[in-house]
Every structure is written in C-alpha cells, then in structure tokens.
Chains A and B, each alone.
Chain A
Amino acid sequence: MDPLSTAMIILAAILVVLASGIWIYVGLILVATFSLMVFGDMALDRVMNIFGSIILRSSGSWELAAIPLFVWLGELILKTDISARIFRGLGPLVRLLPGGLIHSNVLGCTIFSAICGSSAATTATVGKITISELGKNNYRRSLVLGSLAGSGSLGLLIPPSIVMIVYGVLAEVPIDRLFAAGVLPGLFIAGTFSAYVAIICLISGDREKNPENTHQTPAPEASIAEGYGWFDSLRDLAPIIVIITLVLGSIYSGIATPSEAAGIGMLCVLALTALTRTLSWDVFQSSLMAALHTSVMIFTVVIAASLISTALGYLHIPVELANFIVSANISPGQFIILTSVFFIFLGMILDGVSIIVMTLPILFSIVQSLGIDLIWFGIYLVIMVEVGQITPPVGFNLMIIHAIDGVPISRMALYALPFCFLMCACVAVFYFAPNIVLYLPNILFN
C-alpha cells in the first residue's frame, strides 16, 4: 500500500479510538500495535520487543525532567498568592487593550518560554494559572483557551528550546545562532496572537454572552481597590519578576544549564513563598500531588505518541512522503508550500521531535540544494512543529488544556484553529521577510 493511504488509515484509526471514549494513551498504544501488525506484518512478540525499549526511553529521559518540576512550579504559584498578585498587577497594564486579561496568556507564555524549553510544560504551567482566573471573569472561552494553546507552543520557538537543540545537532547548525534566530519570530507571532485577540474582542466583545458559571467568586479585576496605581502594580508583579530574573540569570551566567532551569525556578518559588509565609505543608503537598497527576497524564501521552512515531518509522511513512517531495522538481517557494502541507499532515499524528528526526535526513540535501538558509529552515521547522502541537488528534497542547479545563478536545481543536492559521500566515511573512529570522543571529555572530 502506498504511504499516504497507510497514513490516512492510521489517522482514521486514531480518530475512531479517541472518539470511542477509551483513554487517549490506551487508544494510541492500540493503534501503534495494530499498525505494526497489519501494515508492518509483524508478530505480536516483535511489536512488544520494539515497544519495551521505546517505553523506557520515553519515560526516563533527562530532557523531560523539566516537566514535573515546571508543572509543580505552576501549581505552587496558583495555590499561593503569587498568581492573584500577577493578575492584579497586570490589570492596569492590559486594561488599555481590547481583550484585557486574555493577553496575559500570550504575555505569560512568552515570558515563561524564555525559561522553559518545552511547549507542554509552558502550556501546563501558564494554563494552570490563567484558566481559572480568566474563567472567573467570564472571558470569551474560545479566545482564552485558543490563545493559550497557540502561545503555549511558543515554548519551542523562544529559547531555550528542546526542539531547536535536536535540529541543531542533526543539521549541524550552531545552537546559539538558532536560539538567537528564534527570538524575533517568537515575539512576532506573540504580537500577532495579541493583535488577533484584540481585533476579535473589538468586533464581538471579550466576554461570554451566556456565562456558564453564574456563581462566580469576585474577580481580581473587580476587586481592585480605588487608586490602585502603577506602583501597586509593580509591587504585585515583583515576586514573579524576581523569579524570572533569577532563572534567566542562572541560565545566562552558566550556573545552571537550560535543562536545569526548572530546578532553579522551583527553588526560587519555594524560597519566596516560604519568605512571604504563604507556603504551608498543606499547600506544599497538595501542589506536589496535583503536579504529579498532571505530569503522569502528560507522560502517558508522550509515551504513547512515541510508540505511534516508532510505528510510522518502521512503516517508512515519513521517509517515503519526504522522498516524494525530494523527487518533485520544484522552486524554493513551492518547496515550502509543499513541506508545510506535509508537516501539517504529519503533525496531526506525530509528535514534534519525531517529525524532525524522521524527515530531516531526507529533506536536508534538497534544502541545501535549493539554497535555503539552514537557520531559517530550522526556525520554519520549529514553527511547523508548533502547529502540530495544536492540531488534533495528536496535539499535546490540546490534550493538556483539556486535562486542566475539561473542555472537550474537539471543541478545543476548533478554538485553536485560528491560531494555527495565524502561525502559517506568520511563516509566509518570514518567507518574504527572512530578516525577521536572520537579523539577530547576523548581528550577534558576524
């Protein structure tokens, strides 16, 4: 069977098992098994032998250690008064913008991306804090959840970034230049998201017409006292500014590696909450338990998604589809359009890092022969991986937000759709204005 049909059948199988109501990770494991047995003609014991090492690898790799620590950090911020302070402090800043506190998603994710290399951890941490606060204010849910999904994926584009490291190592592109190249596109996309949120809010208002929760607790915005000024705002934002500064400082001074930043962040939050006496045993243990459950949920999906990736790898699907692109005789512009379609399709069923490691070896030579800048291509690839984070059925950010908020995944996917389009539009902008990508690495390193 040709690779495209096989991929379509696997995609359909994933949709069916997900809709059937079994746990998502169970469904993915069963589909991976089924794919290898039916299309790969393998016996069950060979499939099991394959899965064993993959499970151990994907559940026990150092790169993922940041996830439980960052998620715990988010829980602590939520359960102490830091998050309430953040929202009170942001009030005067965002009141000027249509959409108000919805922008805290974009802003929060952008800032958090600068200390965290993983999109899952960014979405989970920021989402924990913003969703409940924004929900209390009855902000438009499509924008609250959609902008969170979209900006959460910026964790990959704004340095540090795990995906960039993978690309840099494989393509032998200097990692520091890649990191520098991600900054402006990351800010550009964040700006685009904010502009979109503002425009929609201007056109059709920023609150739900029929709020689901009518018994709302007083929202921080409403509870802001008369005469709350810029100075109070600064005082409320001080804790989070201190934390972020310390984490960034530890990374850029070299005291901690980017992979250890989560540890520094946790220590800072623990110290700060202890100093301000908001840390009690109860807060400590309940935040830890909540972080544990969220992390286990994320890991089950990560493990299952890696089994799907391995199955697709054995079936040579990404390789053969990429070969098709290589064999088509095309211009750079057509190449980018074709690969975008290809990456969006693969992004539906594959996780980010797999997309890069499976297709890069094949696309690499054509990228070079078309004269496409390897740093530019790396940033492009990272953005396409980000799109994959918010497309169903295998979209980590969608699943994480579903787990935090309970919103049905199908509806979540719809909320995220405009942000997919926006990212693709940004890719087009970067294609015609490559300097947005290349300006920083050029001035920093040449």
Chain B
Amino acid sequence: MSTQNHSIISRIDWVMTKIGLWLSWFAAALIVYMLVHISIEIVLRAFFDTSTFVLEEFVGYALGAMVFMALAATHTEDRLIRVKLLRDAVSKRTQAVADLVANIAAMCAGILLFGALFNIFTRNWRFGITSASFAETPLWIPQMFIIAGLGFYLLRLLVNILLYAQKTLMAENSQQ
C-alpha cells in the first residue's frame, strides 16, 4: 500500500485531481454567468426597450466551455454514466483490467473529439473567423476553453490508464 501512495503516478493523480477541481469551479462560475446574463437581458428588454443582442451567442459559448472544462472532474467524480452490470460480477483484478480498457476506450473517443475540434479551432484562429453577430467574437476565443478542457481531460485519462495499469500489475504480483 505504502509504495502506491508514494508512487509518482499517485502524486500526479493528486495534482490532476486538484487542477480538475479548479477547472470545474470555473465551469460552475459559467453557470452563474448564464443566470446573470439571462437576468440582465430580461431586465433590459422589459424596462429599457433594449437588449444585450448577444444572449444566445454568449450563453452558447458558456455552455460549451462549461461541458468541456468540467469533463475531467465529472469523470473523476464517477458521475459520467456507464453500465456496471458485468463489471460488478467479476473479481477485483478483472475489474482493474476492465477499468483499464474503459479508460483506453475513452482515450480513443477523446482523441477523436480533440482532433476534430482542434482542426476547427486552428482554422478559426488562422483565418480570423468571427461570429456573424453584433459582437463579432473571434471564434477561437470560446473554442480555446473547449480545447483546453478537452486537452486536460486527455491528460486525466492518460494518468488513469497508468494508474489502472499499475493496479493490474500489482494485483498480479500479490497473487504470486
């Protein structure tokens, strides 16, 4: 047990969990921002005959950033759903293997998403594409948060994979 606690991977895991928590605080703040923007919009429209003109656009950006910034923390908190029926029926060691495989699968899907979004992000950056709205927001700015969140999620998965690989190996050792 003590070797595991002091292993480098465990320490990295601790740091990653901390950073994930900070990012999820940022994501939570975005929910508060959505509430504030909607409230301001309602007041402006009802009492001042005007509008922020960017409600839908900015709330949309905030939603996207919220999802990806908090993805790693939600994963760590085990709040992303999976069917655990078969997993619960097998031995601890097989479970570690199953978790390893699941994290690798998530890594594959994550890389796919990252590749897809990174392509869009860099092009919006390169060509200086803006939104067609009043604000003319450079699109790479909101997308930067998505890329950062997703990138961090990939690192998180990498650490998980190493952790479960280690667990699998240790379970093997203890069996001998």
Contact = CB atoms under 8 A, between A and B. Distances in A.
A256 B68 CA distance: 29
A316 interface: no
Given A52-B117, A292-B24, A300-B80, A23 B106 contact: yes
Contacts of B28: 285, 288-289, 292
A263 B116 CA distance: 32
B112 A51 contact: yes
Contacts of B84: 21, 408
Contacts of B87: 21
Contacts of A30: 105, 108-109
Contacts of B31: 68-69, 72, 288, 291-292, 295
B28 to A, nearest CB: 5
A126 interface: no
* Contact residues of B: prevailing secondary structure: helix
A263 B39 contact: yes
B137 interface: no
What is the interface residue range for chain B against chain A? 35 or more
Interface in A22-54: 22-27, 29-30, 33, 47-49, 51-53
Given A30-B109, A68-B34, A51 B83 contact: no
A357 interface: no
A408 to B, nearest CB: 6
Select the residue from A60, A250, A262 with max chain B CB neighbours within 10 A. A60
B67 to A, nearest CB: 4
A104 B83 CA distance: 28
Interface residues of A, number: 59
A55 B56 CA distance: 17
Interface string B69-85: 01101100101111111
Nearest to A67: B63
B34 to A, nearest CB: 6
A292 B27 contact: yes
B70 A292 contact: yes
A95 interface: no
Interface string B25-67: 0011001101100110110001000000001100111011011
* Contact residues of A: prevailing secondary structure: helix
A267 B43 CA distance: 12
A23 B82 contact: yes
Contacts, number: 172
B101 interface: yes
Contact of B81 (A250, A288, A297, A410): A297
B112 to A, nearest CB: 6
Nearest to B95: A21
Given A23-B102, A60-B64, A292-B27, A263 B42 contact: yes
A59 B67 contact: yes
A29 B79 CA distance: 18
A402 B83 CA distance: 9
A62 B86 contact: no
Contacts of A51: 112-113, 116
Contacts of A62: 55-56, 59-60
Contacts of A24: 80-83
Nearest to B43: A255
A195 to B, nearest CB: 32
Contacts of A408: 83-85
A20 interface: yes
B64 A56 contact: yes
B128 interface: no
B135 interface: no
Nearest to A262: B38
8 nearest A-B residue pairs (beta carbon): A263-B38, A60-B64, A52-B116, A62-B56, A60-B60, A29-B109, A296-B74, A293-B79
17 contacts: A22-B102, A24-B83, A27-B105, A29-B113, A52-B116, A56-B120, A68-B31, A250-B42, A266-B35, A292-B31, A292-B66, A293-B24, A295-B31, A295-B67, A299-B63, A300-B74, A408-B83
Interface of B: 24, 27-28, 31-32, 34-35, 38-39, 41-42, 46, 55-56, 59-61, 63-64, 66-68, 70-71, 73-74, 77, 79-87, 98, 101-102, 105-106, 108-109, 112-113, 115-117, 119-120, 142-143, 146
Given A24-B81, A260-B41, A267-B39, 4 more contacts: A23-B106, A264-B42, A402-B81, A409-B81
Interface of A: 18-27, 29-30, 33, 47-49, 51-53, 55-56, 59-62, 64-65, 68-69, 72, 250, 255-256, 260, 262-264, 266-267, 285, 288-289, 291-297, 299-301, 303, 399, 402-403, 408-410
